[in-house]
């Protein structure tokens, strides 16, 4: 695994990349770009706010994202709940998905799953955090998932049967997983440091997670934990490609934009993504693979 801060100058560029990436830029707008750096196109214009944390919907054309625009109840606790919107990347038509009015708390960490369901975190009337499943067309809450205090960072498994999430117990976040109906909530990490789930492997058998600014991988049941990166700065997993490679961003102190890399799940084969840095790609991102990959 890398033992010092990776330098994109000395690391060869990644090859064989396919797909389209949606991301937020430093100016607060959302963009789409091809994996090779071509076809960069702006899809939102957040003149009165900031759009970020985008994710592809099941139609592979629409993107759900979190934004400071729109209507939502004031977030007095500072949880981060705001408007959850959807944009059509072809027509650029936007709509607010959640919440329905300015007296309802907003959401955060939207993650699309099967059947146009979007998992997101929000607050109930007593301002307790929970994860809800929202209909991606109507914005109606289909199911409330009681995950105790501070359930965040939802990540659907590839088959749509499970959701990984981070849960605050005591003073630290750990990675948990549950069935999509909220049952069988299982703790996967138990560290004296914050752990946050990342992406699932394509077969659903493994899961990335962040721990103290480093990237780790474990089996979906929490066994066989192993460290992937060990570098200066803060790294976060952003995509797990079908060929097994993990895409991550790396923030060095004082940096205004992250550097981007691709690495094998065992920590070998580090390559760089200079095209992402030229485009000003900021995480979180969502990587849409072409059909059949």
Across the strands, what pairs with 144? 132
Instruction: Quote the CA–CA distance of 42 and 272 in Å, as a whole number.
Output: 24
pLDDT at 85 over 60: yes
Instruction: Quote the CA–CA distance of 29 and 27 in Å, as a whole number.
Output: 6
Cα–chain center distance at 140: 22
| Nearby residues of 18 by Cβ (< 8 Å), 6 or more positions away | 35, 289, 290, 293
pTM value is 0.94
Q: Tell me, what's the pLDDT at 6?
A: 53
Whether the CB-CB separation of 120 and 106 falls below 8 Å is answered with no
| Nearby residues of 169 by Cβ (< 8 Å), 6 or more positions away | 148, 149, 187
Question: Tens digit of pLDDT for each residue in 200-254?
Answer: 999 999 999 999 999 999 999 999 999 999 888 899 999 999 999 999 999 998 8
Across the strands, what pairs with 82? 107
Q: Are strands 108-112 and 94-98 parallel, antiparallel or unpaired?
A: unpaired
Whether the CB-CB separation of 272 and 259 falls below 8 Å is answered with yes
The DSSP secondary structure of 57-78, one letter per residue, reads: -TTSSEEEEEES-S--B--TT-
Average pLDDT over residues 40-69: 95
**Domain ranges in the chain?**
20-204+273-288
CATH number of 20-204+273-288: 2.120.10.30
Q: Which burial class, exposed, middle or buried, applies to 231 when counting CB atoms under 10 A from its CB (0-12, 13-18, 19+)?
A: buried
Question: Tens digit of pLDDT for each residue in 131-148?
Answer: 999 999 999 999 999 898
Instruction: Quote the CA–CA distance of 30 and 47 in Å, as a whole number.
Output: 12
Q: Tell me, what's the pLDDT at 76?
A: 86
Cα–chain center distance at 260: 15
Tell me the pLDDT band of 9, cut-offs 50, 70 and 90: low
Tell me the pLDDT band of 3, cut-offs 50, 70 and 90: very low
| Nearby residues of 204 by Cβ (< 8 Å), 6 or more positions away | 157, 158, 159, 162, 220
Instruction: Quote the CA–CA distance of 225 and 71 in Å, as a whole number.
Output: 41
């Amino acid at each position: 695994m890398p033992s010092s801060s990776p330098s994109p100058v000395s690391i060869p560029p990644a090859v064989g990349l396919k797909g389209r990436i949606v991301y937020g830029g430093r100016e607060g707008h959302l963009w789409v770009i091809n994996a090779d750096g071509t076809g960069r196109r702006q899809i939102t214009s957040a003149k009165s706010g900031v759009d970020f944390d985008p994710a592809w919907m099941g139609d592979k054309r629409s993107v759900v994202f979190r934004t400071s625009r729109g209507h939502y109840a004031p977030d007095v606790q500072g949880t981060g709940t705001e408007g959850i919107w959807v944009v059509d990347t072809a027509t650029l038509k936007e709509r607010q998905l959640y919440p329905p009015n300015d007296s309802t708390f907003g959401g955060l960490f939207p993650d699309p799953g099967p059947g146009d369901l979007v998992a997101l975190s929000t607050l109930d009337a007593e301002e307790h955090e929970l994860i809800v499943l929202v209909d991606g067309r109507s914005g109606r809450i289909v199911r409330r998932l009681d995950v105790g205090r501070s359930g965040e960072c939802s990540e659907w498994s590839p088959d749509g049967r499970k959701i990984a999430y981070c849960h605050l117990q005591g003073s630290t976040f750990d990675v948990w997983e549950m069935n999509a109906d909220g049952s069988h909530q299982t703790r996967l990490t138990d560290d004296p440091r914050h752990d946050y789930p990342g992406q699932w492997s394509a077969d659903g058998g493994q899961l990335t997670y962040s721990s103290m600014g480093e990237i780790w991988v474990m089996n979906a049941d929490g066994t066989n934990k192993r460290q992937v990166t060990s570098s200066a700065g803060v790294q976060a997993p952003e995509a797990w490609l079908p060929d097994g490679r993990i895409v991550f961003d790396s923030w060095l102190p004082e940096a205004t934009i992250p550097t981007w890399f691709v690495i094998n799940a065992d920590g070998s084969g580090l390559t760089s993504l200079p095209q992402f840095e030229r485009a000003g790609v900021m995480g979180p991102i969502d990587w849409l693979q072409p059909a059949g990959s």
